[in-house]
Amino acid sequence: MKIAIVILNWNGQKLLEKFLPSIIKYSDLNNVEIYVADNASTDNSISFTKAHFPLVKVIQNKKNGGYAKGYNDALQHIKADIYALVNSDIELTENWLNPIIATFENEPETAIIQPKILDYKNKNKFEYAGAAGGFIDKFGYPYCRGRIFSNLETDHEQYNDTIEIFWATGACLFIRSEVYHKLNGFDEDYFAHQEEIDLCWRAKNMGYSIKYVGTSKVFHIGGATLKEESPRKSFLNFRNSLFTLVKNLPASKLIPILFIRLILDGIAGVKFLLERRPIHTFAILRAHLSFYYYLPKTIRKRTKKLQKRNYFTIKSIVWNYFALGKKTYSEL
């Protein structure tokens, strides 16, 4: 089983200098190749990588099309059984690959896997992007084992299991190359953020399994590309989540759930105003305007295959967290 570790880079020379050594050190297996896919960087990322890490292969994309297009363009040039899509701000650990390889080898129906994601800056805490595996509620709001909204759990090895999840984080995502291309990769209209949820939902609708393997562990800085409080990030998250609902919800649920979701987004906008963060309120407004602009195109992307009805286990993570005060996954 050949594995290609692909690190998407844009002006990330300092991150490559810091994190490539651990990627090389802990991925030293005969069947593993490491690539840097560069999104038209204007710094010295490429020359630095070639000079200091000659065994790392470099793919140069013609422009910065974001996470989605960046990977779609780069993976056209890589032959492997498994793609490991690894952020440039990820630190690996010893033996991180073996449990994931074993799961793929023993479970042919498993198409996508993520490891345990811990916070690089506070290594006993789960990290925002993915934590111990992702889920969504009825209205499409994402949450994770180990992370609900901004509440991050401490790692007590309570999630050192292997379980079925709904979505795997794009910060460190393993996917069978055959499945990736069958799904036509990421949706490039997303640019960045939540494209992995859409990819995983489409994979689920096609009958594939997605797993979290907690015996594999990595550390993630998070926010190295867009800061957590960035209005640009708020815009992309709110808009792209609406894209995902339109593309993947069962037809009978689409209109009522989308209507309620738009109202909930409006309430979030009011909350930001009350918190004196109007820039995020305007980000939500822009997200909705962009969503309406792309709506005809997004509707055309709905597959003719049956959309699965059992995509959620929690009706409203918003209600559970803000109204009922349930801050951890075990309380849900």
Cα Rg, the chain, nearest whole Å? 19
Contacts of 49 (CB under 8 A, 6+ apart): 16, 20, 36, 56, 58
For the chain, first and last CA: distance in Å?
A: 38
User: Where do the H-state alpha helices sit in 154-310?
Assistant: 177-182, 195-205, 231-248, 251-274, 278-300
The token pair that represents 103 in the structure block = 């799961």
Parse the chain into domains and list their residue ranges: 3-220, 231-317
| CATH number for the domain whose boundaries are 3-220 | 3.90.550.10
In the chain, what is the greatest distance between 2 CA atoms, to the nearest angstrom? 56
Q: What is the pLDDT of residues 2-58, one digit of tens each?
A: 999 999 999 999 999 999 999 999 998 889 999 999 999 999 999 999 999 999 999
Under the banding of pLDDT at 50, 70 and 90, the label for residue 307 is confident
- Segment 224-248 shows an average pLDDT of 85
pTM: 0.95
Q: How far apart are CA 327 and CA 277, in angstroms?
A: 23
**pLDDT number for residue 331:** 97
Q: How far apart are CA 5 and CA 124, in angstroms?
A: 25
Q: What is the pLDDT of residues 210-230, one digit of tens each?
A: 999 999 999 999 754 445 578
Q: What is the pLDDT of residues 154-187, one digit of tens each?
A: 999 999 999 999 999 999 999 999 999 999 999 9
Q: What is the pLDDT of residues 60-71, one digit of tens each?
A: 999 999 999 999
**pLDDT number for residue 228:** 52
**DSSP one-letter code for 125:** B
**pLDDT number for residue 220:** 97
Under the banding of pLDDT at 50, 70 and 90, the label for residue 303 is confident
Using the structure block, give the residue that is written with the tokens 């797993």. 211
